[in-house]
Structure 1
């Protein structure tokens, strides 16, 4: 684990600025009663800033672990920080003006701002792709950690790519050039929604797979950290190969859930009102994940437990097995 002082500084500074913006947005939610597209006007910068704190710090940490290509990684991370800063400045500025930031073509100025955001997001995606390539080429002492980061950033790229689908005009917008693009599928943006998230409860919502995919960047490394923390208590987890296989099972399950959420949203189906096909697919994913995890733990070599007993004879009686 690298010291935080070695983390990518521009991304750390960007994350710190998002902490400040989250605080400002929280105040705005309390004192500003304006509503835009069915939500409190400060909800978008608040949600974006909180999400980007985790995103920026995750990338800053991962870049500090590179053993080669560090200069290229520094530049790619700096591009990510700058493009995200541009997006957040525009989002916040439009909130102050009382205007939509995304999909807004109502005036030449609004359209220009959205076009700048579009260019910045494409640039962000390409820079993140560059970081993913560097992580794939890097050598890590622990393979489970390596693949937790690699799978996490790959899924984050897939989640970010959902944003490109949102910019496509809906059938109703072909005749109306003022707003082009939408978060919702099958219903207009701004309808009934879930508390806090603002996700539609009457139609599909592409923000759900977008959010879920992007935060694989945190979930998979955190899972690996959890396995490492449990390793002293559960001997099978002391084996690096077992941790690696469990990470790969988790990554496969995460990818399957991401695909399911995208499929559900694109069919215009609300998250909280799944149909039979969605429930059946969910059951299959749960069963496959459970079977995969059980198979990994069941087939774990007994030598891990033997080695632990030899190296720590005083702890033998306290050691627990995950699978009998």
Structure 2
């Protein structure tokens, strides 16, 4: 492996303290909000130990914790990748606007879901009255903004290659962010159209896959939504691991990763629409 590939700084933070320091330098708004959302996991987890209430077959604190973890990591990842945008963009008003939109959307989304979980009420698809219909609409708008902002970051990164970052990793980051934006919006709008992520049987997380709650006996659009949301993690990480095997085929590894990922997303998306489990052996 060549020196540039060994020395790139994509994942060089060796301790949590150093990692947070690096992230805070890259984007303090996103970093502190991301850390705040992750810290929310602590009281919610403690509450789950003593709260026996269930909603749709799962503990009332399960959904808030999943969103706190997912959105917290989402913001921290965007903060990390901010270093790969153009230097003038990093100090510009446009960057602050991008970060501000992400922070606003993320805080509303997660805090509302946490509140509704505490009340043992639905957050998504809750149109029981005018207020909840309005808040659900705001959630949809916030979700779209979360996706669009990382799409914007993808464009900014694509237009500026950091000299010390291998070109294959540069494009893996840009493609990962772009796919997150596009695929998340597609999956999200499809779920909104069906007014449920479950297709085929009544919704319940009681018999779902551990941790994720994905249905195993019907179609579940949350699988495609999850893959789309985390393309920003899966594409760069997989590419980085593969090029450690052979740097001479770095471009092929990126192409392989992209094609495999897109194929997996299409399979999970279409199987959900067909009302079938994404796991053929279940």
Unaligned runs of 5+ in 1: 170-180, 276-324
Could you tell me which residue of structure 1 aligns to residue 131 of structure 2? 109
Task: Name the SS for the 1:268 alignment partner.
Answer: coil
Could you tell me which residue of structure 2 aligns to residue 86 of structure 1? 108
Instruction: From the superposition, tell whether residues 61 and 49 of structure 1 become closer, same or farther in structure 2 (CA, over 3 Å).
Output: same
Q: 1:59-78 residue pairs with structure 2 within 5 A?
A: 59-67=78-86, 68-70=88-90, 71=92, 72-78=94-100
Structure 2 residue corresponding to 1:16, chosen from 24, 31, 35? 35
Q: CA deviation at 1:115?
A: 1.6
Could you tell me which residue of structure 1 aligns to residue 18 of structure 2? none
Aligned residues between the structures: 256
2:197 is aligned with 1:183: yes
Paired residues of 1:77 and 1:131 also in contact (CA < 8 A): no
Q: CA deviation at 1:54?
A: 2.1
2:192 is aligned with 1:167: yes
Q: Deviation per CA, 1:21-76, whole angstroms, max 9, x where unpaired? A: 12222222211111111211111011111112321111111112212533223321
Task: Name the SS for the 2:127 alignment partner.
Answer: coil
Q: Distance in 2 between matches of 1:5 and 1:22?
A: 20
Could you tell me which residue of structure 2 aligns to residue 319 of structure 1? none
Q: Deviation per CA, 1:209-249, whole angstroms, max 9, x where unpaired? A: 11012112112222344356x3xxx6x42x4xx22331221
Structure 1 residue corresponding to 2:251, chosen from 234, 244, 248? 244
Q: Distance in 1 between matches of 2:29 and 2:74?
A: 13
Q: CA deviation at 1:126?
A: 2.4
Q: CA deviation at 1:272?
A: 2.8
Q: Runs (4+) of structure 1 moved beyond 4 Å?
A: none
2:175 is aligned with 1:151: yes
Task: Name the SS for the 1:168 alignment partner.
Answer: helix
Q: Deviation per CA, 1:143-192, whole angstroms, max 9, x where unpaired? A: 111111011112211332111211114xxxxxxxxxxx111011121263
Larger Rg: 1
Q: Which has the higher contact order (CA 8 A, sep 6+)?
A: 2
Q: CA deviation at 1:274?
A: 5.6
Instruction: From the superposition, tell whether residues 255 and 103 of structure 1 become closer, same or farther in structure 2 (CA, over 3 Å).
Output: same
2:235 is aligned with 1:220: yes
TM-score normalised by L of structure 2:
0.84
Paired residues of 1:6 and 1:64 also in contact (CA < 8 A): no
Q: Distance in 1 between matches of 2:223 and 2:134?
A: 27
Paired residues of 2:150 and 2:178 also in contact (CA < 8 A): no
Q: Distance in 1 between matches of 2:208 and 2:49?
A: 20
Q: Distance in 1 between matches of 2:28 and 2:223?
A: 30
Could you tell me which residue of structure 2 aligns to residue 137 of structure 1? 159
Q: CA deviation at 1:140?
A: 3.0
Q: Distance in 2 between matches of 1:103 and 1:69?
A: 37
Q: Which moved more, 1:147-156 or 1:122-131?
A: 122-131
